Structure 1
Amino acid sequence: MQAPQREEIHLNVPSYKKNRSGIAKFVVLPELIKSLLSLAHGNADVECGFSENAALITDDRSSLSDISINGLRATKDAVKFYGQGKVHKVPICKGLLDNVKEAHSRYQVDQEITQRILEKKEAIVAAAKLTKHKELVLVGKEQNLIGQRKILQEDLENVSKMLNEGNSRLEATVATKNFAGVEMAQLLIGGAKKKLDVLKTQLGDNSDQMNQLKKN
């Protein structure tokens, strides 16, 4: 008994039957059948393609690009189709001769395009690395300024304590009328004020550098 063709199977499915209202039954069934009929009966074609690729990519040709592999596969398929698998039986026509003549120029154009793409990618990578490096430098400078500011604030606190101590000694000396300690108190106060002026200037510079860094 001869097996029915795919078209016959498709036309005889119950999805084309309608109910009394004229609405088709099994609406989803046609799509299911189409999907099933589109599946290959086996994977011989795929395995054949893998075998052909394995034959093309040998140890001394392992660096072939996808374009080169596709070109070799296309050439081999053309020889099978036009020459029954024999090169000398492939008919020589004007189109074939023109393609052969233009092959090298096309290859050069393709190489130039590929080179431009590679250069563009390298430029993008280099720019990204430069940006990353700048970010790291800025972060390093910011951390350094934060560390300097912390030290300056600690020094400012110590100098403020020294100034308070000098003022306290001076007040105690005046209260007890023991003027022997006036000179020491004045030295503490004078040294503290000078140090305060220096620290305030350094803190101002630190703030300016931090603001400039944030603008960048």
Structure 2
Amino acid sequence: MQAPQREEIHLNGPSYKKNRSGIAKCVVLPELIKSLLSLAHGNADVECGFSENAALITDDRSSLSDISINGLRATKDAVKFYGQGKVHKVPICKGLLDNVEEAHSRYQVDQEITQRILEKKEAIVAAAKLTKHKELVLVGKEQNLIGQRKILQEDLENVSKMLNEGNSRLEATVATKNFAGVEMAQLLIGGAKKKLDVLKTQLGDNSDQMNQLKKN
């Protein structure tokens, strides 16, 4: 009895692409295998990058910016690639000389751009602080006006009671023909009316200030 033949599976073979029914199978598998093969076998490159950064950022160079670090790394890679790791073996060409001459001017432009960005951020922060301060001042003024209005309303109620009491006394003295009490009742009523006029004026000013504050 002859042993059954094994079907070999090849990534590009016909037995891989279709099954016996002619239907495509394992469509995603080639892409998965390619992705796995493209992965690094270790993290040596990453660790080397960390070591190079640690060598660049020393105690007296701890304030290096990302741009400066990237520039130093790029320079080191260029020396490694063009000069086999030795600076004196790097070929000197016109493009290299032009880049060296323009390096300082590009640095100045970058510094100016960075300074403008910092000034813009500081202006935004200062404007936000000023707006917050104005809001706090307006809130404080509003609270003061509300407190003043409450006191004026309480005084108004007291003066209204005093006016009612004066009218009651006047009616009682007239009814009993106690003319000596009439003068006292009239003085009480007159003082209450004057105080009432003053309080109404103050309440009107308070309302105007509150309306102006709301507009601001």
* CA displacement 1:71-105 (0-9 Å, x = unmatched): 11111111111111110010101100000011111
The unaligned stretches of length 5 or more in structure 2 are none
**How many residues of Structure 1 are paired with residues of Structure 2 in the alignment?**
216
Contact 2:160-2:192 at 8 Å conserved across structures: yes
Q: Distance in 2 between matches of 1:58 and 1:193?
A: 84
Q: Which structure would you say has the larger Rg? A: 2
Go from structure 1 to structure 2 and tell me whether the alpha carbon gap of 1:89 and 1:5 turns closer, same or farther (over 3 Å shift): farther
* CA displacement 1:11-35 (0-9 Å, x = unmatched): 3599953356654334444554454
Go from structure 1 to structure 2 and tell me whether the alpha carbon gap of 1:35 and 1:6 turns closer, same or farther (over 3 Å shift): farther
Q: Distance in 1 between matches of 2:171 and 2:5?
A: 117
The unaligned stretches of length 5 or more in structure 1 are none
Q: Distance in 2 between matches of 1:161 and 1:177?
A: 24
Go from structure 1 to structure 2 and tell me whether the alpha carbon gap of 1:155 and 1:35 turns closer, same or farther (over 3 Å shift): farther
* CA displacement 1:134-188 (0-9 Å, x = unmatched): 1111111111111111111111111111111111111111222222211111111
| TM-fit CA distance, 1:37 | 3.8
Aligned-residue Cα RMSD (Å) equals 5.3
| TM-fit CA distance, 1:68 | 0.5
Contact 1:15-1:25 at 8 Å conserved across structures: no
Go from structure 1 to structure 2 and tell me whether the alpha carbon gap of 1:22 and 1:65 turns closer, same or farther (over 3 Å shift): same
SS in 1 for 2:169: helix
Go from structure 1 to structure 2 and tell me whether the alpha carbon gap of 1:25 and 1:148 turns closer, same or farther (over 3 Å shift): same
Contact 1:15-1:26 at 8 Å conserved across structures: no
User: How many percent identity over aligned positions?
Assistant: 99
Go from structure 1 to structure 2 and tell me whether the alpha carbon gap of 1:163 and 1:26 turns closer, same or farther (over 3 Å shift): farther
| TM-fit CA distance, 1:132 | 0.9
Contact 2:9-2:16 at 8 Å conserved across structures: no
Go from structure 1 to structure 2 and tell me whether the alpha carbon gap of 1:202 and 1:19 turns closer, same or farther (over 3 Å shift): farther
Contact 2:10-2:16 at 8 Å conserved across structures: no
Give the TM-score taking structure 1 as reference length.
0.88
Q: Distance in 2 between matches of 1:176 and 1:4?
A: 138
